[in-house]
Each structure stands twice: as structure tokens, then as C-alpha cells.
């Protein structure tokens, strides 16, 4: 799309057709079925999931589709339109984590985690197509895991209800791929509902589907791809997680979720290191902001969550220190152009910003961000309009 123009997500049919056509071309026969799983944005609640706290993501219309059919024996073959390469692996490679590298590790990781959990995983051929951009913080990896998991569960007739799937997909990512992420992204890719945000308690995995009808309120969520190069994102993520776990230990609680917002000052007074205090303050105040946002949405006050979004961003920028200049610039420009609230979404150090705007102002806000980016000499940003879509399902 030209600079400043708001690109609508690709038509829903395309990616599914690409997966089906790719399957037929690679394997010379039609697939037995197609399974889709979405990317996500997180409305609010960042770096709270691995602190046993609260998150509020919703699924995007951008999705990954896996076309698949059973294969004989313990053999898995997967082709991706993105890289154009085909990877095959067998029982040896899924006997222990880490044996399949690269993008196919997400697929092998799901097979490994299913087998670890005692499931008889059918051999399969798979073809993957995706509209979820890679490396933009919209959770393309969880979308792939969720779509592959749905396909294998259905092909094998496995007994694994949707509630049990996020943990298993997270295990694939944590233990097989080796990324120490929380449970949010897999939960969003699997459990979200169209028209709703997913209020998730990451300790109990209890969910409430919160109606999130932007159109009825005359609003839109503009997702701005900051296009910032990811700078040491993996190491920084792991170090934030470690700092939170250490702080919980110092405070004598199982997780930072157990520090109530009302007790925050007392807790901070017991920590002698300023950086640790700021990390704790982010997590504790962010959990409270999720609860406040949920209360507003339950009352139908969508516009009023704006200030909470912006406060979340300030907390990520100043206390958790996970933003970068491109992301801060996008937030500032969106707010200056009239957004009700704006914040970075996802793990940080790049990725996307979301802005809550009047629907008829989305183009103007996008233009304002593009202009500010040009002034600062940044690579042009990308834009999507986000409407809450469903989680993983068979097509
Ligand atoms: C990444 C992780 F994968 C999530 O688990 C979550 O921690 C998020 O960063 C930050 O909220 O997306």
C-alpha cells in the first residue's frame, strides 16, 4: 500500500486457497482438510502472562492456514510457501527437543509435545500458507503452532479439547524451539472468538470472552507495524522474565501477580534496586490496567479504555524499558492526531503499535504517523485495521 494508506487484511479466501494449492502441487493429491489459526494483537496486559497475571488479546483476520493429510507411519513432511522449502522428519527428530531447526521447529515441536503428552500422533503431510507477517510481533509462531495442532488433533482423532491446547503449544515453543514465552499468544491463537477480546487469567487459564464491538462504537483499532529492526529482542525478553522471577522471590510470592496494586508501595519499599522496582511496578500496574479495561468494556465504554492504553505504553517505555524510538514515535504521532489511546503491543523492541481511533479518522492517523516517521528518517510504517476474529478452527 502507498505510504499512509490503510491496508485491509487480505481476503479470507486467498490464504486458504494458497495452502490447498501448495499441498496439491507438492504432494500430487488434494489435502484431507485445511485448518486456520490467527495472528493476534494484545489490547492490554504486556509481560504479565509469565507473571501469572492477566492479558486481553484479540485475534486478527490475518491467519495461517495448514492444508494437511495423513501419511504412513511416524513421518512428517511440511512445506511452507514463505520459504518455499520442504522439511521432512521422523520419530528420531521428535524424540528430543531441538533436533529440527528453523521454522519447521514449530511444527516438529508440536509433534514432540503431543507425543510427550501421550498422544498417538498421526504421520502427516502439511502445506503452510500465511498472511501473518513474520517478525512483526503479531504472533506468527503461535498461529503456526495452533494451526498444526488443530490439524494433527483432527487427523488423529486425538482427545485434546481446546482448553488444553495452549499449554501444549507453549511447551512446543518453550522446550522444543527454546523460546521462554508465556501462554498468551497460544491462548489467543486457539481460544479467541470473533467480535470478542479474550480476558485470560494466565494462572488458572480461566477465560471470559469480552464483547469488543468496535464498529458499533464508531471506532477502529489501527495496527501500526513499526518496522523497527528487532534489537536483541530474545535476550532482552529472557532478561525481563528473569528479573520478574527474581523479584517475586525477593518479595516472597509465587509470582508478581500476587502483589496487589494496593500493596505496591510496600512491596517497592522492600526492594533496594531501582531497576527491579521499576520492573515490578510495570507488572503490578499493568495487571490492574487489564482489570480496569475489562470493567470498562463490560460496561460498553470502549472509548474510555484509551487512557489505560496510553498509560500502559508509558509504563513499558519508562519502567519496563522495552520500547524503541520507532514505537514511541508511532504512539506519540497517533495521540497527537487524535487517537483515544495508543500503545506498543507484544514482546517489545520493535513490533506493532495499536491505536484506538474514530473509524473515520483511521486514515488521518495513519498519515500523521507516516509523516512523523519520514521526518525522523525511519523506514515507512505499515498499517492494518484490526477486527476481532475467531481462534483456530477447521475450514
Ligand atoms: C511475547 C510472548 F510470546 C508472550 O508470551 C508475552 O509475554 C508477550 O511477548 C508480552 O506480553 O509475545
Question: pLDDT tens digits for 272-302?
Answer: 999 999 999 999 999 999 999 999 999 999 9
pLDDT value, residue 349? 95
341 C-alpha to center of ligand 1: Å? Answer: 21
- pLDDT band at residue 9 using 50, 70 and 90 as cut-offs: very low
Does residue 351's CB lie within 6 angstroms of at least one atom of ligand 1? no
Helix ranges (DSSP H) in 6-156: 12-27, 105-116, 140-156
237 C-alpha to center of ligand 1: Å? Answer: 8
**Cα separation, 28 vs 169, whole angstroms:** 30
The answer to whether residues 167 and 205 touch, using CB atoms and an 8 Å cutoff, is: yes
Does residue 52's CB lie within 6 angstroms of at least one atom of ligand 1? no
pLDDT value, residue 6? 53
Beta bridge partners of 319: none
339 C-alpha to center of ligand 1: Å? Answer: 24
- pLDDT higher than threshold 60 for residue 161: yes
**Cα separation, 168 vs 357, whole angstroms:** 36
SS3 63: strand
Which atom of ligand 1 is nearest the CA belonging to 141? 3
The answer to whether residues 120 and 161 touch, using CB atoms and an 8 Å cutoff, is: no
Instruction: Please indicate if the annotation marks 138 as binding a ligand.
Output: yes
255 C-alpha to center of ligand 1: Å? Answer: 16
Residue of 146, 258, 243 lying closest to 202 (CA atoms): 258
Does residue 384's CB lie within 6 angstroms of at least one atom of ligand 1? no
2 C-alpha to center of ligand 1: Å? Answer: 30
SS3 122: coil
- pLDDT band at residue 229 using 50, 70 and 90 as cut-offs: confident
Instruction: Please indicate if the annotation marks 49 as binding a ligand.
Output: yes
Give the number of residues written for the chain: 395
Instruction: Please indicate if the annotation marks 72 as binding a ligand.
Output: no
Phi, psi (deg, nearest 5) at residue 382? -115, 160
SS3 346: coil
SS3 305: helix
Does residue 319's CB lie within 6 angstroms of at least one atom of ligand 1? no
pLDDT value, residue 162? 95
Exactly one of 185, 225, 287, 319 is catalytic; which is it? 185
Planar angle of CA 18, 93, 393, nearest 5 degrees: 35
171 C-alpha to center of ligand 1: Å? Answer: 14
**Residue 185 designated active-site:** yes
pLDDT value, residue 152? 98
Probe residue for ligand 1, chosen from 54, 181, 286 as the CB with the greatest number of ligand atoms within 8 Å: 181
Question: pLDDT tens digits for 186-227?
Answer: 999 999 999 999 999 999 999 999 999 999 999 999 999 999
**Cα separation, 366 vs 375, whole angstroms:** 14
Strands of 382-386's sheet, edge to edge? 341-345, 352-358, 219-225, 382-386
Residue of 189, 105, 202 lying closest to 142 (CA atoms): 189
Task: For residue 120, give the DSSP letter.
Answer: -
pLDDT value, residue 12? 45
The answer to whether residues 6 and 222 touch, using CB atoms and an 8 Å cutoff, is: yes
pTM across the whole model: 0.95
- pLDDT higher than threshold 60 for residue 3: no
Q: Taking residues 127-137, what's their average pLDDT?
A: 93
Beta bridge partners of 219: 358
Probe residue for ligand 1, chosen from 48, 182, 348 as the CB with the greatest number of ligand atoms within 8 Å: 182
Beta bridge partners of 107: none
Q: Which of 11-15, 110-114, 134-138 has the lowest mean pLDDT?
A: 11-15
The answer to whether residues 89 and 76 touch, using CB atoms and an 8 Å cutoff, is: yes
Does residue 286's CB lie within 6 angstroms of at least one atom of ligand 1? no
- pLDDT higher than threshold 50 for residue 1: no
Question: pLDDT tens digits for 236-265?
Answer: 999 999 999 999 999 999 999 999 999 999
- pLDDT higher than threshold 60 for residue 8: no
218 Rama sector, left if φ>0, alpha if ψ -120 to 50, beta otherwise: left
**Cα separation, 112 vs 101, whole angstroms:** 13
Instruction: Please indicate if the annotation marks 141 as binding a ligand.
Output: yes
Phi, psi (deg, nearest 5) at residue 222? -95, 120
**Cα separation, 126 vs 110, whole angstroms:** 13
pLDDT value, residue 11? 38
SS (H, E, C) 124-192: EEEEEEECCCCCCCCCHHHHHHHHHHHHHHHHHCCCCCHHHHHHHHHHHHHHHHCCCCCCHHHHHHHHC
CA dihedral 348, 189, 64, 234 (to 10 degrees): 30
The answer to whether residues 274 and 32 touch, using CB atoms and an 8 Å cutoff, is: no
Planar angle of CA 48, 236, 54, nearest 5 degrees: 5
Instruction: Please indicate if the annotation marks 46 as binding a ligand.
Output: yes
Instruction: Please indicate if the annotation marks 139 as binding a ligand.
Output: yes
The answer to whether residues 330 and 354 touch, using CB atoms and an 8 Å cutoff, is: no
In angstroms, the first-to-last Cα distance of the chain is 28
Phi, psi (deg, nearest 5) at residue 280? -65, -45
Q: Taking residues 143-171, what's their average pLDDT?
A: 98
pLDDT value, residue 210? 98
Amino acid at each position: 500500500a502507498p505510504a499512509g494508506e490503510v491496508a485491509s487484511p487480505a481476503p479470507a479466501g486467498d490464504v486458504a486457497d494458497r495452502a490447498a494449492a501448495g499441498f496439491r502441487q507438492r504432494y500430487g493429491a488434494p489435502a484431507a482438510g485445511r485448518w486456520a489459526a490467527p495472528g493476534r494483537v494484545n489490547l492490554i496486559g504486556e509481560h504479565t502472562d509469565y507473571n501469572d497475571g492477566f492479558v486481553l488479546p484479540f485475534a486478527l483476520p490475518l491467519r495461517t492456514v495448514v492444508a494437511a493429510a495423513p501419511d504412513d507411519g511416524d513421518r512428517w513432511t511440511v512445506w511452507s510457501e514463505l520459504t518455499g522449502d520442504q522439511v521432512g522428519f521422523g520419530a528420531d527428530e521428535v524424540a528430543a527437543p531441538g533436533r529440527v531447526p528453523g521454522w519447521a521447529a514449530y511444527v516438529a515441536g508440536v509433534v514432540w509435545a503431543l507425543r510427550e503428552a501421550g498422544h498417538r500422533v498421526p504421520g502427516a503431510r502439511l502445506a503452510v500458507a500465511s498472511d501473518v507477517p513474520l517478525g512483526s510481533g503479531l504472533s506468527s509462531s503461535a498461529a503456526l503452532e495452533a494451526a498444526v495442532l488443530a490439524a494433527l488433533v483432527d487427523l488423529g482423532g486425538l482427545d485434546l479439547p481446546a482448553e488444553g491446547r495452549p499449554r501444549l503449544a507453549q511447551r512446543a515453543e518453550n522446550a522444543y524451539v527454546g523460546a521462554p514465552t508465556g501462554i498468551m499468544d497460544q491462548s489467543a491463537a486457539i481460544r479467541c472468538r470473533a467480535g470478542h477480546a479474550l480476558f485470560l487469567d494466565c494462572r488458572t487459564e480461566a477465560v471470559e470472552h469480552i464483547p469488543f464491538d468496535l464498529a458499533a462504537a464508531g471506532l477502529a483499532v489501527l495496527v501500526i507495524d513499526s518496522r523497527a529492526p528487532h534489537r536483541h529482542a530474545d535476550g532482552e525478553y529472557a532478561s525481563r522474565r528473569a528479573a520478574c522471577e527474581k523479584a517475586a522471590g525477593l518479595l516472597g510470592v509465587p509470582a508478581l501477580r500476587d502483589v496487589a496494586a494496593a500493596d505496591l508501595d510496600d512491596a517497592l519499599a522492600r526492594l533496594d534496586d531501582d531497576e527491579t522496582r521499576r520492573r515490578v511496578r510495570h507488572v503490578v500496574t499493568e495487571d490492574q490496567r487489564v482489570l480496569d479495561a475489562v470493567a470498562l468494556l463490560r460496561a460498553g465504554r470502549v472509548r474510555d479504555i484509551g487512557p489505560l492504553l496510553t498509560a500502559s505504553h508509558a509504563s513499558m517505555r519508562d519502567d519496563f524499558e522495552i520500547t524503541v524510538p520507532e514505537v514511541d514515535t508511532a504512539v506519540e504521532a497517533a495521540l497527537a492526531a487524535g487517537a483515544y489511546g495508543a500503545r506498543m503491543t507484544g514482546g517489545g523492541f520493535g513490533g506493532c503499535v495499536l491505536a484506538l481511533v474514530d473509524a473515520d479518522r483511521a486514515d488521518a492517523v495513519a498519515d500523521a504517523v507516516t509523516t512523523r516517521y519520514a521526518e525522523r528518517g525511519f523506514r515507512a510504517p505499515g498499517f492494518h485495521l484490526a477486527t476481532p476474529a475467531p481462534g483456530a478452527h477447521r475450514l
